[in-house]
Homo-oligomer: A and B are copies of this chain.
Amino acid sequence: MQGAEQRTPPPAAYTPTDRTVPTRSAHRASYDKELVHAILDEGYVCHLGFVRDGAPVVLPTLYGRVGERLYVHGSTGSRPLRTAGRTDAGPGLAVCLTVTHVDGLVLARSAFHHSINYRSVVVHGVAHQVTDPEEKRLALDALVDHVVPGRSRDARPADAKESAATAVLRLELGEVSAKVRTGGVNDEPEDLSLPHWAGVVPLRKGYGTPVPDAALTPGTELPGYLAALSS
């Protein structure tokens, strides 16, 4: 038995559930928090799914992460945010939030084994509207910092009117899984001698040269956090 001062480390993995254990390619699934966070933090847009009038709706939207919470935002008049209700205590909105990176094209000798290399995270849960002003402020900062880390400190924060016009939904990272495919082609042994080229075409992402606003105050330097992106 360890001494009483021993700290319990936070759990390093999400607990799998019926919804997060895939029926196929289970070896590609992961519940590792560090991996999930890294995939989420690298994305710009998530695909937010919800049910409206019994039918699925999937919309791309910005998001931000603060620890084990994700935030999405929108106009207070937007459909998902209206559906989620106006209070933190309401029933909330059942959502599925998915982030995917495509890393490479996997060209096998057989059509059947064509694939892509990817990393994705799927989060199931019920999103609630954030009503606490301090949490809302932190969430809005996280949404801006998700676009470019550190940017929220170099922008005018939302004023009272802007904040009132913006609804923020909170989604806890509880029922979460990542799925990752890496590596090369998985052709059948009897196909290896076929004459077709086989292998992986990597996909690259990068940044172009920042384009300053035409009305930028003369002499405004490109901030370091942006120069670092495109270098």
The docked-state distance in angstroms from the alpha carbon of A124 to that of B113 is 29
Q: A49–B44 contact, CB under 8 A?
A: no
The docked-state distance in angstroms from the alpha carbon of A95 to that of B54 is 11
Q: Which of A6-14, A128-136, A193-201 contacts B (4 or more CB under 8 A)?
A: A193-201
Against B, the Cβ 8 Å flags (1 = close, 0 = not) of A99-114 are 0101011011111101
Q: A110–B156 contact, CB under 8 A?
A: yes
Is A24 in contact with chain B by the CB < 8 A criterion?
A: yes
* Contacting residues of chain A (180-223) with chain B, CB-CB under 8 angstroms: 184-185, 187, 191-217, 220-223
Residues of B close to A109: CB separation below 8 A: 155-156
Contacts A47-B58, A205-B203; is A213 near B185 (CB within 8 Å)?
yes
* Contacting residues of chain A (141-200) with chain B, CB-CB under 8 angstroms: 141, 143-144, 147-148, 151-152, 154-159, 162, 166, 184-185, 187, 191-200
Contact of A94 among B54, B155, B208, B230 (CB under 8 A): B54
Q: B157–A111 contact, CB under 8 A?
A: yes
* Contacting residues of chain A (81-129) with chain B, CB-CB under 8 angstroms: 94-98, 100, 102, 104-105, 107-112, 114-116, 118, 120, 122, 124
Contacts A100-B47, A144-B111, A226-B197; is A203 near B192 (CB within 8 Å)?
no
Q: A208–B197 contact, CB under 8 A?
A: no
Distance in Å: Cβ of A97 to nearest Cβ of chain B = 7
The docked-state distance in angstroms from the alpha carbon of A215 to that of B186 is 11
Q: A45–B102 contact, CB under 8 A?
A: yes
* Beyond A57-B96, A109-B155, 6 extra complex contacts between A and B, CB < 8 Å: A23-B77, A55-B96, A56-B56, A199-B210, A201-B207, A203-B208
The interface of chain A, by Cβ under 8 A from chain B, is 19, 23-24, 44-45, 47-51, 54-60, 62, 74-75, 77-79, 94-98, 100, 102, 104-105, 107-112, 114-116, 118, 120, 122, 124, 140-141, 143-144, 147-148, 151-152, 154-159, 162, 166, 184-185, 187, 191-217, 220-223, 226, 229-230
